[in-house]
Structure 1
Amino acid sequence: MGLPGSMTCIKYLMFIFNLLFWLAGTGVFAVGLWLRFDPKTKNLFEGDSSPYVFYTGVYILIAAGALMMVVGFFGCCGAIQESPCMLGLFFFFLLLIFAVEVAAGIWGFSNQSNVVHDITQFYRQTYNDYKDTKQDALKETLRLIQQGLNCCGPSSSLEDSQVLEDTCPKKEGLDVLITKSCPDAIDEVFNSKLHIIGGIGIGIGVIMIFGMVFSMMLCCAIRKTREIV
């Protein structure tokens, strides 16, 4: 006896969702490996003065990507093969990720000022080290930060912008006169845009809850169908 029509629909929706989840995890995992082993950034992992925030973030990316791939695999196989065991593992890993996300959110909100301070210090240290050593790895790190935040230098003065001319975003016309410093940009991301980050986190959490509910519904329907047979 096959699954009811509604459960069959949920089965294929779960398969598509987990396929996209697996692809997203593959992308995150690939980005983490690229940052870890790319010649322009791998030197940041060597030596006693390696930036803690950067390599910690890279390893978190690698671990998160690998976990997303595992979860997506169990979800896809569990749905398409109608395997209660794999669906149970999918539920467990999704619950684990959800718990970690909630814990990380609580920690982030309660330690917001410390996070902003640590990231700002990391940027200033990278900036000063690049001025002294001119290492390509430090240059690439600065370029990624400044391009991503659309900022330039540790202050908004023109002198700092000239020092980092090769890493700062290229601007034309009057935009050159209103360059934002990177400490101000970091502070803006974690303050004025914090509600956006929180909203994204809540949205992901809701999707995870639906994924867990659907996996349990599908698992129960499969067990019930097999008991009837």
Structure 2
Amino acid sequence: MAVEGGMKCVKFLLYVLLLAFCACAVGLIAVGVRAQLILNQTINQGATAGSLLPVVIIAVGAFLFLVALVGCCGACKENYCLMITFAIFLSLIMLVEVATAIAGYVFRDQVISEFKKDFQKQMQTYPRDNQTVILLDKLQQDFKCCGANNYTDWENILVPKGRVPDSCCMNVTLGCGVHANVTDIYVKGCVEMIGGWLRSRVLVVAAAALGIAFVEVLGIVFACCLVKSIRSGYEVM
């Protein structure tokens, strides 16, 4: 009875961890999707180690959610095969998360470099491409920035000289960027602002992945304990 009572406690703790895994999975998917949307808008030179990181994060989050569901079913039905599958897949996810955290830290500067190069290239097509206008205007408004390095990047691109896109204005109105005062526009560059956003998200995801990996170790231990109990023939309520 003591062993059975101990397994009840382990089963309860495993349920708590499974709920935590589901929440973490949703968080990883949300951060990965947001980062991927930004990269898709600004990096157009194909797959690179840096630009693939959000895809890996989304895949890990989705897989973690499915594995958590498998673990929940296995614990609820006290199914030996499901619990073994859960423990194995959770171990694989843990290894991928640690690798992703390391890769995110290593390639963070490469992502910013790719972003800067493509942003500057898109600025050159801004006067004649409506799609680029929509894209860059949205980025500049959302991140409160102007140009790649700063607002002076638009000096030789738009006419008359010294004009900036209306999206650079703090209060956007039609034609506000034609003779805008520096005090009325965003002066910081989008590379700095968006790059800072990406760096912070990469570091957050890396730290979260390592933290989740630690919790997953507990999940693996509890799952193995439950598997041992099921195999030994104990009835766990």
RMSD: 4.0
Q: Deviations over 1:137-159 (max 9, x none)?
A: x2233134323432112433485
Q: Tell me which residue corresponds to 2:57.
A: 64
Q: Deviations over 1:134-188 (max 9, x none)?
A: 222x2233134323432112433485684321x336338985156223345456x
Q: Where in structure 1 are there 5+ consecutive unaligned residues?
A: 45-49
Q: Tell me which residue corresponds to 1:203.
A: 207
Q: Tell me which residue corresponds to 2:11.
A: 8
Compute the TM-score of the two structures, normalised by the length of structure 2: 0.66
Q: Deviations over 1:89-120 (max 9, x none)?
A: 12212321221221331343xxx3x5443321
Structure 2 counterparts to residues 1-229 of structure 1, below 5 A? 1=4, 4-24=7-27, 27=30, 51-52=44-45, 60-82=53-75, 83-108=83-108, 112=109, 114-131=110-127, 133-136=128-131, 138-154=132-148, 155-157=150-152, 162-165=163-166, 167-168=167-168, 170-171=170-171, 175-176=183-184, 179-185=187-193, 189=196, 196=200, 200-229=204-233
Q: Aligned partners of 1:153, 1:128: CA distance in 2, in Å? A: 11
Deviation at 1:53, TM superposition (A): 6.8
Count, aligned residues: 208
Q: Aligned partners of 1:56, 1:142: CA distance in 2, in Å? A: 24
The answer to whether the Cα contact below 8 Å between 1:33 and 1:62 also exists between their aligned partners in 2 is yes
Q: Where in structure 2 are there 5+ consecutive unaligned residues?
A: 76-82, 173-180
Q: Aligned partners of 1:56, 1:202: CA distance in 2, in Å? A: 15
Matched-pair identity in %: 13
Compute the TM-score of the two structures, normalised by the length of structure 1: 0.68
Counterparts in 2 of 1:223 and 1:205: CA distance versus 1, 3 Å: same
Q: Aligned partners of 2:35, 2:194: CA distance in 1, in Å? A: 22
Deviation at 1:227, TM superposition (A): 3.3
Q: Deviations over 1:12-32 (max 9, x none)?
A: 222211222343455467668
Q: Aligned partners of 2:192, 2:37: CA distance in 1, in Å? A: 28
Counterparts in 2 of 1:29 and 1:152: CA distance versus 1, 3 Å: closer
